[in-house]
Homo-oligomer: A and B are copies of this chain.
Amino acid sequence: MKKLINRPEDAVKDELEGVAAAHPDRLRVHIGPHFIVRADAPVQGKVAIISGGGSGHEPMHGGFVGMGMLDAACPGEVFTCPTPDQMLAATQAVDGGVGALHIVKNYTGDVMNFEMAAELLGDEGVEVEQVVIDDDVAVKDSLYTAGRRGVGATVLAEKICGAAAEQRRPLADVAGLCRKVNANARSMGVALTSCTVPMAGKPTFALGPDEMEIGVGIHGEPGRERRPLATAREIVEALTTAIVDDLPLKRGDHVLALVNGMGGTPLMELYVVYNELHKLLGGRGIAVARNLIGSYITALDMAGCSITLLRLDDELTALWDAPVNTIGLRWGA
């Protein structure tokens, strides 16, 4: 295992200490239980938005805490769901008095623990809405999931809901927008290599030198099929066709296209992928009105990418364009 870490068991703590040391102007980091909140939290009168999940997907979620996006993130150990007490403490730390939205990727442990946290918060008089993101079209059920996995649409939901919360829209509206994003977004990924979990010390799965895993999960869960390595054009065709058919997208639709790196893939390759995606969608009469290209929801050091398409309307577009100021996404601020 080749990683820039100290002891594998300290990787998450060391990372969080690094985040705390780097960004005291914008974030407060609490170690034990671990959570990250925006420096100006709680923002009174604003719906608080909290997300979380296993570590190893950086910048998600901690890198999306800040004005216009999340109020708090709860990082678990690598690929391990955070605990209810983390979610409880994080939500209490950012509660602005008008309720909280929990954005939860659809993995069984995450959903269960966020539900427990919501119950505890309800007992204390904090209104919580939970929205589960399940945008990955690759497989119906998976290693850690009943139903579809939550992946790239989470980034888009956090941005769009964050913008709505900044406008002081009420909890029901913000949660409704989150459901709208999830309903209109689909994703699929591909792995060229496995990832390696620090505590495991060896690759999560075996992939031959000329193989790729189409439909891989962000923890290395199996996808739809293992195939011989193909060109970027063929890979984009496979991922995009699955997404477009599932949503479905039709001629005349406008989309936001996220081309996401899995952690071990350089930006150069993501632009090659975007080029193919742009051409393919154009050929089907689907306009890419907005795009986001980079590594936003990763799987440790996995080489590969995912594509997420979100069908846009004027409301979603305006919220996407609104200012945001986080480590991972920043514009207009």
Residues of A within 8 A of B (CB): 2-7, 11, 14-19, 21-22, 55-56, 58-59, 63, 192-193, 209, 212, 229, 231-233, 235, 263-276, 278-279, 288, 291, 293, 295, 298, 300-301, 303-305, 330-333
Instruction: Say what secondary structure dominates the interface of chain A.
Output: mixed
Q: CB distance B5 to A232 under 8 Å? A: yes
Please determine whether A18 and B274 come into contact, CB atoms closer than 8 angstroms.
yes
Smallest beta-carbon distance A252→chain B, Å: 19
Verify A11–B272 contact, CB threshold 8 A. yes
**CA distance in complex: A3, B212 (Å):** 10
Q: How many copies does the complex hold?
A: 2
- A295 to B295 alpha-carbon distance, docked (Å): 10
Is the Cβ of B301 less than 8 Å from the Cβ of A264?
yes
Q: Can you sample 27 A-B contacts with CB below 8 Å?
A: A2-B193, A2-B212, A2-B229, A4-B192, A4-B235, A4-B272, A4-B273, A4-B304, A5-B232, A6-B232, A6-B233, A7-B231, A15-B268, A15-B271, A15-B272, A16-B271, A18-B274, A21-B275, A21-B279, A55-B268, A263-B266, A263-B267, A264-B266, A264-B303, A266-B295, A266-B298, A268-B300
